[in-house]
Amino acid sequence: MTKTPFRKIDGKEIRWTDATGVVHIVEGADVHSDVRLLWTLCLRDVPANTVWLLEPGDAHEVCAICQQRASLPPEASNAADSIPRPSSAAMGAAPPEPAAVPQSGGRPLSSKENGV
């Protein structure tokens, strides 16, 4: 797979506010011509239609893990894709719009490792 992670759309950094009001830094990748995956730097899945773009000069306090990983290049944090993601089970809430995650088609994430 040759997806290239990005952290900006139209030159603006991507942010996501979770249910508790905490702002996260979002990284994304176009894994398919019409499939864009988005996740936070702390490895939470992000529904594509819930992110927002950080205006230049604007600043928001972000989650500590995202803040820490923001100093790493996208290539480095992308390696985290290979570790089991605890968020989906721990959150207890399924994303309202799972259409952006091609579970049946491609296999973007190594969810199999959970059962090994």
Task: Please report, as ranges, the residues that interact with Zn ion according to CB under 5 A.
Answer: 24, 40, 42, 63, 65-66
Please, what is the minimum distance in Å from the beta carbon of residue 70 to Zn ion? 10
Please, what is the minimum distance in Å from the beta carbon of residue 33 to Zn ion? 28
Please, what is the minimum distance in Å from the beta carbon of residue 5 to Zn ion? 15
Query: Is the Cβ of residue 16 or residue 100 nearer to Zn ion in the bound state?
Result: 16
- Whose CA is closest to 15, among 44, 34, 31? 44
Q: Cite the beta strand spans of the chain per DSSP E.
A: 8-9, 12-17, 23-32, 35-40, 52-53
Please, what is the minimum distance in Å from the beta carbon of residue 40 to Zn ion? 4
Query: Is the Cβ of residue 32 or residue 54 nearer to Zn ion in the bound state?
Result: 54
Query: Is the Cβ of residue 40 or residue 77 nearer to Zn ion in the bound state?
Result: 40
Query: Is the Cβ of residue 17 or residue 108 nearer to Zn ion in the bound state?
Result: 17
- For 1, half-sphere exposure in the C-beta direction (CA atoms, 13 angstrom radius) is 17
How many residues are present in the chain?
116
Q: Are 76 and 68 in contact (CB under 8 A)?
A: no
Structure tokens at 62: 């972000």
